[in-house]
Amino acid sequence: MKTITHWMDGKVVQSRSGQSGPVHDPATGEVIAEVGFADVDQTDQVVASSLAAYTGWRNTSLTRRMQVMFSVRNLLHESKDELAGIVSAEHGKTLDDARGEVQRGLESVEFACGIAHHLKGSQSQEVSSGVDIMSVREPLGVVGCITPFNFPVMVPLWMIPNALACGNAVILKPSEKDPSASLYLADLFQRAGLPEGVLNVLQGDRVAVKRLIEHPDVAALSFVGSTPVARSIYEEGSRHGKRVQALGGAKNHMIVLPDADLDLAADAAVSAGYGSAGERCMAISVVVAVGDAGDRLIPKLKERISALKVGPASAPESEMGPLISSQHRDRVVGCIDSGEKQGAELVMDGRGIQVPGCEKGFFVGPTLFDQVQADMEIYREEIFGPVLSVVRTEQFSDAIDLINANPYANGTAIFTNDGGAARQFQREIQVGMVGVNVPIPVPLGFYSFGGWKNSLFGSHSIYGPEGVQFYTRPKVVTTRWPDPEHRGVDLGFPKSG
């Protein structure tokens, strides 16, 4: 059985805690590896290694740090297929989807290649007689990056390139469900010239995370995962005096107005609802059909869903893979049961799907509910599976009110050909990322990503310019070189002039 290790000081390191967890092939249900978890002692050891490496790295020239990022970019580009294979094997998503995830992570590396531009400071001369002021941004120190299972390459790359390029040392604590990609990334950064210890990988569960939160030598935490954990990491991390950004779960709505191109809307809803088996934080999980759009949309959704090919990533024709674990599959099936029980109209039922050769895999087929009400569990909960709910509203304003009343606010979209309605939506909607005829509006690497409300705790979005702000703090230096005019004791508060 393959054992998945930590990575410290440029080498693999075995876990010493005796605690471990299974890693599955979700398509077959087989255990394919065991990942060793860190305990408090081993977490402390990794933090000490990162702290020791930090000083040398923050004093490494900006140009050298950028060269490393350029090399990472090239290696990652060459490794796309290999890395996609590693992701598929443990996550279950199709190879094409996994390649897409690597590509989106690559964008964040490319942004960090230009970090010198983003770290430019500012200066004002002669603010008082003989006095200049300079403002620079400096790294924070050791940053802990805690990431979810659903994007084992992209989400770490939302954090690591900017954090490193800004001069920090990083400890990555990946999901224990698909941890192999983290070791591949650590090795790749090292091959690109990153000094040992500047990027360490700590495998583990809540024990390692709790220690990172409490450890006095960890300056900041970037977290992406579910809302309850995000909230608690934000609260606990802040209590321990750390800078924290914690991105949480989602319930993303897509409004379809009666004037929309309904074929385009149906394509978009099916792609964004069932891609990656709905295990995306930007997946569409609710279609809000306004007026008579629903009656015309449902047959189009049914037609497209019936044609979807569900299967393992190893079969090239598969368009949708399994869920991450048997527990998660059972939870999603439980949500479908509850939707049916609470009176939603089950149009397509993905329960009990059989995938030949993968009878023990964690599959749920694409599921569609119509006539979903806001008080039903399937509407209130983040299902994180291939379940799309259609809610009907009479008016456009009711659709906006419904979305604004939802506690999650990650992404949303509108499908319409009416520019005025799109503009109204864009201005009135209380959500962090908005698409107009774009179902998954994930910003490119030179913008930043972040939801509102229960989808993000903290004041910084992730990657792009906001990432640079998060991973640095300002220092303002006021300078006067001694001259004969400015001598003598003066107990008054320093004045300009």
Cβ 52 to ligand NAD shortest distance, Å: 25
**Residue closer to ligand NAD (CB basis): 205 or 418:** 205
Q: Which residue has the tokens 């770490």?
A: 156
Q: Which residues are catalytic?
A: 281
Cβ 177 to ligand NAD shortest distance, Å: 7
Query: How far, in Å, are 26, 90, 276, 474 from residue 360 at the CA level?
Result: 9, 15, 19, 54
* Token pair for 146: 């805690």
**Residue closer to ligand NAD (CB basis): 139 or 322:** 322
* Token pair for 292: 């008579």
Cβ 315 to ligand NAD shortest distance, Å: 25
Cβ 234 to ligand NAD shortest distance, Å: 12
**Residue closer to ligand NAD (CB basis): 92 or 148:** 148
Question: How buried is 295 (Cβ within 10 angstroms: 0-12 exposed, 13-18 middle, 19+ buried)?
Answer: exposed
- Full DSSP string of 301-326: HHHHHHT--B--TTSTT-SB---S-H
Cβ 390 to ligand NAD shortest distance, Å: 21
The two beta strands, 456-457 and 243-247, are antiparallel
Cα–Cα dist 470/234, whole Å? 14
**Residue closer to ligand NAD (CB basis): 233 or 290:** 233
Question: How buried is 39 (Cβ within 10 angstroms: 0-12 exposed, 13-18 middle, 19+ buried)?
Answer: middle
Cβ 146 to ligand NAD shortest distance, Å: 5
**Residue closer to ligand NAD (CB basis): 209 or 355:** 209
Site residues (vs ligand NAD, CB under 6 A): 146-151, 155, 173, 175-176, 205-206, 209, 224-226, 229, 247-250, 281, 382, 384, 410, 451, 455
b/e 48-57 (16+ beta carbons within 10 angstroms → b): ebbbebbeeb
DSSP count for the chain of H helices, then E strands = 16, 23
Query: How far, in Å, are 6, 48, 61, 297, 407 from residue 196 at the CA level?
Result: 14, 13, 16, 55, 42
**Residue closer to ligand NAD (CB basis): 353 or 442:** 442
**Residue closer to ligand NAD (CB basis): 260 or 429:** 429
Q: Report CA Rg, the chain.
A: 25
Cβ 26 to ligand NAD shortest distance, Å: 13
Query: How far, in Å, are 44, 144, 175, 221, 364 from residue 237 at the CA level?
Result: 17, 11, 19, 7, 36
**Which residue type occupies 29?**
G
Tell which residue, 270, 381, 250, 385, has the closest CA to residue 330: 385
Residues 6 or more apart from 185 whose CB is under 8 A from it? 153, 156, 157, 160, 172, 201
